[in-house]
Amino acid sequence: MSNILWNVGYGHFLVLAAVLFLIGVGGVLVRRNALIILMSVELMLNAANVSLIAFSRMWGDLSAHTFALIVIAVAAAEAAVGLAIVVAVFRGRHNVEVDRLNTLRH
Amino acid sequence: MIRILVLLAAVTVAVGGAPDAAAQPAAPAPAIRLSSCTPEILAAVQKAKPGAFNVVCHKTPVRMVDGKAQAARIDSIHADVMQQGKRLTFELSADGRVGGMVDEHSDLVGSSSKGMALLFWAFAAAAVGGALFVVTRRNLIAAVMGMVGSFLGIAAIYMMLYAQFLAVVQMLVYAGAIMVLFVFVVMILNRPEDEPVAPSGRAGQALGGLAIVYLVGRLILMLVQVQPPDPAAAMAAPPGGVQCVAWAAGACTRQETYDWGSITAVGTDLFGPGLFPFEAISILLLLAVVGAIAVARPLHGEDDAPAKARSEGVA
């Protein structure tokens, strides 16, 4: 137990990434506010980045840094488009709860 | 990291040490770090410790012997050697006898250093706590602030994995730009959430909870057992800094290599093998900007009071 506490290795970083990813998944599944769902998606992208960097250090391969940079750029694009959609939805309906966006269902 | 420490030590000694020695010759003079060892000393050190780099001769300029000031003499020689990923500093005498190890520095992520472990737990707690804040808070601004804390913790985690450039990008792009965008949208919407959790049946909740617990357990068990392909190489400090590439006539040919994860290293990779994704990303960002403007722009035919008022005011 003390070994796990004091001897920080790659498993720790990978478990941290997994925990962050699961919190993101939970946020997407449980919350109804579109903004919180967007933030949870960002959280999942970040968790993927953490595991990428940990594996990069583990294998001594720097190309994962490039990939993580690209993931950050994709996340920025996703945030821009997602927030634009949220603003457009709010302008039409005056709320952003995803449960109420069910017009196509009826 | 090591280079910065050495630089700091050198600057400290250069600023504080020399005037002291000149002003008070009676006091024991502090050692001045000079790397200007004579070629004979370098040759002796190289013979005693092959692969030594950063050989430093500590000189005491004035030394009191029997009440008389004696001229400059070399007090001790320190030589750094890399062994099994650790930087060991040995003390040597001028004729090449190894005195003993005076310092041991390891830059390992998996080192047994307790400070490193404490830092890891602190930043991991910040990252996970911020993430939990995002998922649980009803107040949107509190959620955004939790997200910022989580991103800062993740940036520190990047730093611990020798990804300095990515850590800075994380702070600038995520904690800076993206979260500001979120705050703007939250301020535009300005509506507290009615109910944070989607209602569902009791059986569905229990089943979902069980499935999540099982998946989490399996994932963590799997990740703990992940082994690096070559533990010795993976645990070693990453390449970088000043290294001794060749010895000739007692002198070290130093070569400055770029640090792992630095902007030079990442840039070399980004504009070499990663050039196509880099160019593709620029097109993606352009499309995203155009798309965001197209989606968020108020439509003229729609019943949009502020836009109508604005256009009427202009007209």
ipTM: 0.92
Exposed/middle/buried for residue B15 (C-beta within 10 Å: 0-12, 13-18, 19+)? exposed
Look at residue A45 and tell me if it is in a domain.
Answer: yes
Give strand ranges (E) for chain B.
32-34, 53-60, 63-65, 68-70, 73-83, 86-92, 98-106, 241-248, 251-257
Out of B134, B223, B287, the one facing A39 most closely (by C-beta) is: B134
Asked if B163 lies within 8 A of A65 by C-beta distance, the reply is: yes
Q: Which residues contact B42 (CB under 8 A, 6 or more apart)?
A: B55, B250, B251, B252
How many domains does chain A fold into? Answer: 1
How far apart CA B213 and CA B203 sit, in angstroms, is: 15
**Looking at beta carbons, which residues of chain A come within 8 Å of B127?**
16, 20
Nearest Cα of chain B lies from the Cα of A103 at a distance, in angstroms, of: 18
From chain A residues 19-58, the ones with a CB under 8 A of any chain B CB are 19-20, 22-24, 26-27, 29-33, 35-36, 38-40, 42-43, 46, 49-50, 53-54, 56-58
User: Which residue range is the domain that position A35 belongs to?
Assistant: 2-98
Nearest Cα of chain A lies from the Cα of B182 at a distance, in angstroms, of: 8
pLDDT at B302 over 60: no
Q: Which domains are delineated in chain B?
A: 2-106 (no CATH), 112-192 (1.20.120.1200), 256-296 (no CATH)
Quote the mean pLDDT of chain B: 72
What DSSP state is assigned to residue B32?
E
Look at residue A42 and tell me if it is in a domain.
Answer: yes
Tens-place pLDDT, residues B168-177: 999 999 888 8
Look at residue A104 and tell me if it is in a domain.
Answer: no
Tens-place pLDDT, residues A39-56: 999 999 999 999 999 888
Q: For position A94, which CATH number holds?
A: 1.10.287.3510
Max avg pLDDT among B9-18, B119-128, B246-255: B119-128
How far apart CA B308 and CA B64 sit, in angstroms, is: 89
How far apart CA B9 and CA B266 sit, in angstroms, is: 29
- Residue A2 identity: S
Look at residue A70 and tell me if it is in a domain.
Answer: yes
Look at residue A43 and tell me if it is in a domain.
Answer: yes
A100 touches chain B (CB under 8 A): no
pTM, two decimal places: 0.67
Max avg pLDDT among B16-30, B32-46, B155-169: B155-169
A97 three-state secondary structure: strand
Closest-CA residue to B163 (of A66, A72, A70, A14): A66
Q: Is the dihedral of CA A6, A8, A13, A15 positive or negative?
A: negative
Look at residue A68 and tell me if it is in a domain.
Answer: yes
Look at residue A84 and tell me if it is in a domain.
Answer: yes
pLDDT at B188 over 80: yes
What DSSP state is assigned to residue B105?
E
Average pLDDT (B72-81) is 70
> Do residues B159 and B200 make contact, with C-beta atoms less than 8 angstroms apart?
no
